[in-house]
């Protein structure tokens, strides 16, 4: 899932100013992250109205990253959108851009920061799991991904800084190499770690591959 | 026999090698390097020049190594994978070789979040093992990492790697060393040793696999300069293992600087007796002027 975090409200206010605004949420990831579902969109509406900002309307796109679907849904909200000078999008970076492709006359404001592709560990607790490198090699590492989960993306073993199974960069996160080692040990597959992994082929990544 | 470097010659002839670290300055003043070079000249066979260590911006290891070369000192140029992709890494290897640098130590590097630019983007395109392999292939096969051919001049580098016998997961540490050797490391410089017992366990495993005959192991020692430094290394530098009895000696001493020096002498004395250890690497952080007496009192002078 794409993990997002709502921007600071005061920061948003300075981007919005005092102009009429239309709010857009997303039915998928932003709903799961509690950053742009119906509840959060209505809370945002209330908070903006408390600041005497006119909210011309709101909608939850299903999901915001679906261009044709968005066009169809937003057609029904044409009047409300036209009355607004600003469009606040509580979705991921993709959703914000899909909306920008459709609505050209108003300023699109990013209401969320997009953080990573990750896992919902517990309610409101998320952890990065994937860099979308375009060439999955998790089967070599007991089903864990050192590319996205090791801050140094090390493919040939841990750095020297892992402490009690935690990452030297952030003691709140597990050292993925510790997880890899323990899992492969359990499965009696430690010999996999003796193979020198060649440098990764980044030409398969989103750095160069932008359409499918 | 043609040796690539003085360090290789000392090690290959079975003599106990000494290397010392020279940290480049946080500024462009070349005198800071020459001063450290003058102090330590003749005390070591080669001098490690760190590459923006702890992710703090300093004079580049290439330029600092060049200054040492002009003084007649042999550098071990350290290169980290943190700040360069494979294009820049290989380019620097060619450049280093062109200006006469013969030893390169390949390291992944301290994470940028620990340094003075925590907002920076780390590169980590390849890791240290892949970098070792890339240099070996450039040197021995005349090909770049991509397979493209080198056209003029293969870099004749004596390849070094780091090893940390103390880090977790502990059982993997010798496997990790073995991978570095397989990738092409010619010599290994270890993390600074304070826990000789743990180092001995690691060395036992190294010898039982015959790795000490495949690579030159140079053991790291850092003299502790103060109680503050002891605590910082103990609690804030990842991968350093300072046992309680060492920390207590520093704490209970009336002269911690003297105590730290004595501890270093004792460690060197213990380490040099360990079978399979081929040399000593002294990292005297901001205390380079202690190196000559440490080397002399340990009986390593004059150098070959």
Q: Is residue B33 part of a domain?
A: yes
Residue B283 domain flag: yes
How many helices (H) and strands (E) would you count in chain B? 11, 8
8 Å CB contact of A152 and B183 = no
Where in chain A are all domains bearing CATH 3.40.50.2300? 2-115
What total of structural domains would you count in chain B? 1
pLDDT at A124: 87
pLDDT of residue A186: 97
Q: What is the mean pLDDT of residues B147-171?
A: 95
Measure the CA–CA gap between B36 and B32, rounded to whole angstroms.
6
- B198-224 confidence digits (pLDDT tens): 999 999 999 999 999 999 999 999 999
Kindly state whether residue B302 falls inside one of the protein's structural domains. Answer: no
B1 falls within a domain = no
pLDDT at A206 over 90: no
CATH topology of domain A2-115: Rossmann fold (3.40.50)
pLDDT at A184 over 70: yes
Assign A43 a pLDDT band (cuts: 50, 70, 90).
very high
Q: Which site among B172, B198, B220 would you substitute to test the A interface, given the most A Cβ atoms closer than 10 Å to its Cβ?
A: B172
Residue B33 exposed, middle or buried by CB count within 10 Å (0-12, 13-18, 19+) = buried
Question: CB B130 to CB A169 under 8 A?
Answer: no
Are the Cβ atoms of B129 and A178 closer than 8 angstroms?
no
Chain A's closest residue to B182, CA to CA, is A196
Interface pTM, i.e. ipTM: 0.93
Task: Read off the pLDDT of residues A62-88 as tens digits, 9 standing for 90 and up.
Answer: 999 999 999 999 999 999 999 999 999
Minimal CA–CA distance to B69: which of B43, B28, B23, B102? B102
Dist. CA B237–CA B232, nearest whole Å? 7
Q: Which residues on chain A are in Cβ contact (under 8 Å) with B182? A: 196
B143 chain-A contacts, CB cut-off 8 A? none
Amino acid B108: pLDDT? 96
Look at the alpha carbons of A168, B61, B81, B74 in this order and tell me if their dihedral is positive or negative: negative
The H-or-E segment that residue B258 falls in is: helix B256-272
For B173-179, what is the mean pLDDT? 96
Name the residue in chain A with its Cα closest to that of B235: A163
CB contact under 8 A, B124 and A159: no
Look at A158 and B127 and tell me if their CB atoms are within 8 Å.
no
Residue A209 has pLDDT above 80, yes or no: no
CA distances from B240 to A62, A167, A175, B46, B171 (A): 52, 14, 17, 24, 17
**How far A131 CA lies from chain B's nearest CA (Å)?**
13
Cross-strand bridge partners of residue A25: A60
What whole-number distance in Å separates Cα of residue B91 and Cα of residue B52?
18
With vertex at residue B126, the alpha carbon angle to CA B121 and CA B127, rounded to the nearest 5 degrees, is: 100
Nearest CA in chain B to A163: B168
In a domain, B224, yes or no: yes
DSSP assignment letter at A126: E
Q: Flag whether pLDDT at A212 surpasses 90.
A: no
- Residues of B near A (Cβ–Cβ under 8 Å) read 81-82, 86, 108-109, 111, 113, 122, 124-130, 133-134, 145, 162, 164, 166-169, 171-172, 175-176, 178-179, 182-183, 191, 238-239
Cross-chain residue pair B164–A193, CB shorter than 8 Å: no
pLDDT of residue A95: 97
CATH code for the domain in which residue B47 is found: 3.20.20.220
Q: Examine the pLDDT at B1 and tell me if it is beyond 90.
A: no
Per residue in A150-166, pLDDT tens?
999 999 999 988 888 99
Is B172 close to A199, i.e. CB distance below 8 A?
Answer: no
Indicate which of A149, A157, A203, A208 best probes the interface with B, i.e. most B CBs within 10 Å of its own CB: A157
Q: Is residue B304 part of a domain?
A: no
Residue B183 lies in a domain: yes
**Beta carbons of A55 and A21 less than 8 angstroms apart:** yes
How far apart are alpha carbons B291 and B43 in whole angstroms?
Answer: 7
Q: What does pTM read for this prediction?
A: 0.95
Q: Tell me, what's the pLDDT at A205?
A: 86
Whether pLDDT at A24 is above 80? yes
Q: Which domain holds residue B283?
A: 6-297
Q: What is the mean pLDDT of chain B?
A: 97
């Amino acid at each position: 899932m794409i993990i997002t975090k709502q921007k600071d409200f005061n920061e948003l206010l300075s981007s919005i100013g005092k102009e009429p605004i239309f709010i857009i949420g997303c039915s998928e990831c932003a709903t799961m992250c509690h950053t742009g579902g119906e509840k959060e969109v209505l809370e945002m509406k209330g908070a903006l109205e408390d600041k005497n900002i006119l909210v011309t309307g709101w909608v939850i796109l299903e999901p915001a990253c679906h261009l044709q679907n968005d066009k169809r849904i937003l057609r029904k909200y044409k009047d409300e959108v036209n009355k607004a000078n600003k469009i606040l999008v509580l979705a991921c970076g993709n959703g914000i851009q899909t909306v920008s492709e459709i609505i050209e006359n108003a300023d699109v404001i990013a209401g969320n920061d997009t953080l990573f592709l990750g896992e919902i560990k517990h309610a409101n607790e998320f952890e990065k799991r994937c860099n979308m490198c375009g060439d999955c090699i998790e089967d070599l590492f007991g089903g864990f991904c050192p590319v996205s989960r090791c801050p140094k993306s090390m493919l040939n073993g841990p750095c020297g800084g892992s402490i009690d199974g935690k990452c030297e960069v952030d003691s709140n996160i597990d050292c993925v190499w510790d997880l890899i080692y323990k899992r492969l040990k359990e499965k009696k597959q430690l010999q996999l770690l003796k193979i020198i992994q060649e440098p990764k082929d980044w030409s398969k990544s989103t750095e160069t591959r932008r359409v499918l | 026999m043609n040796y690539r470097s003085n360090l290789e010659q000392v090690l290959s002839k079975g003599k106990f090698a000494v290397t010392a670290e020279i940290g480049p300055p946080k500024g462009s003043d070349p005198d800071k390097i020459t001063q450290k070079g003058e102090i330590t000249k003749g005390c070591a066979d080669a001098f490690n020049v760190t590459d923006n260590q702890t992710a703090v911006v300093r004079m580049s290891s290439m330029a600092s190594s060049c200054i040492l070369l002009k003084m007649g000192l042999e550098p071990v140029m350290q290169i980290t994978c943190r700040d360069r992709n494979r294009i820049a890494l290989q380019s620097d290897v060619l450049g280093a070789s062109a200006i006469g640098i013969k030893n390169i130590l390949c390291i992944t590097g301290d994470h940028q979040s620990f340094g003075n630019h925590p907002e920076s983007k780390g590169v980590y395109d390849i890791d240290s093992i892949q970098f070792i392999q890339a240099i070996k292939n450039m040197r021995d096969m005349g090909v770049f990492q991509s397979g493209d051919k080198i056209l003029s001049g293969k870099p004749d580098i004596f390849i070094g790697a780091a090893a940390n016998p103390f880090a977790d997961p502990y059982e993997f540490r010798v496997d990790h060393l073995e991978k570095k050797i397989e990738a092409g490391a010619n010599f290994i410089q270890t993390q600074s040793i304070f826990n000789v017992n743990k180092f001995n366990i690691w060395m036992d495993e190294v010898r039982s696999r015959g790795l000490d005959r495949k690579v030159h192991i140079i053991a790291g020692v850092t003299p502790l300069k103060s109680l503050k430094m002891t605590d910082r290394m103990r609690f804030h530098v990842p991968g350093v293992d300072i046992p309680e009895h060492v920390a207590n000696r520093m704490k209970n001493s009336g002269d911690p600087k003297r105590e730290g020096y004595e501890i270093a002498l004792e460690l060197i004395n213990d380490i040099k007796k360990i079978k399979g250890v081929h040399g000593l690497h002294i990292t005297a952080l901001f205390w380079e002027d202690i190196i000559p007496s440490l080397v002399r009192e340990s009986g390593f002078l004059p150098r070959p």
